Copies of this chain bind each other. A is one copy, B any other.
Amino acid sequence: MDAIDQSILRALQSDSSRSIAELAEIVGASTSSCHRRIKSLESAGFIAGYSAVLDPQRLGLKLHAFVEITLESQSRGAMESFEKAVCGFDDILECHLTTGQADYILRLAAHDLEQFDRVHRECLSLLPGVSAMRSSFAIRTIKQWRGYPTG
Q: Are A64 and B16 neighbours in the complex by a CB distance under 8 Å?
A: no
Q: Which residue of B lies closest to A54 (CB)?
A: B148
Contact of A96 among B15, B47, B92, B142 (CB under 8 A): B142
Q: Are A51 and B54 neighbours in the complex by a CB distance under 8 Å?
A: no
Q: CB of A33 within 8 A of chain B?
A: no
Q: How far, in whole Å, are A148 and B94 apart by their CA atoms in the complex?
A: 11
Q: Are A13 and B50 neighbours in the complex by a CB distance under 8 Å?
A: no
Q: How big is the A interface, by class?
A: 35 or more
Q: How far, in whole Å, are A48 and B143 apart by their CA atoms in the complex?
A: 16
CB distance from A81 to the nearest CB of B (A): 12
Contact of A46 among B9, B58, B90, B147 (CB under 8 A): B58
Contact of A54 among B9, B66, B105, B141 (CB under 8 A): B9
A residues neighboring B (CB under 8 Å): 9, 12-17, 44-56, 58-59, 61, 64, 66, 83, 86-87, 90-102, 104-105, 109, 134-151
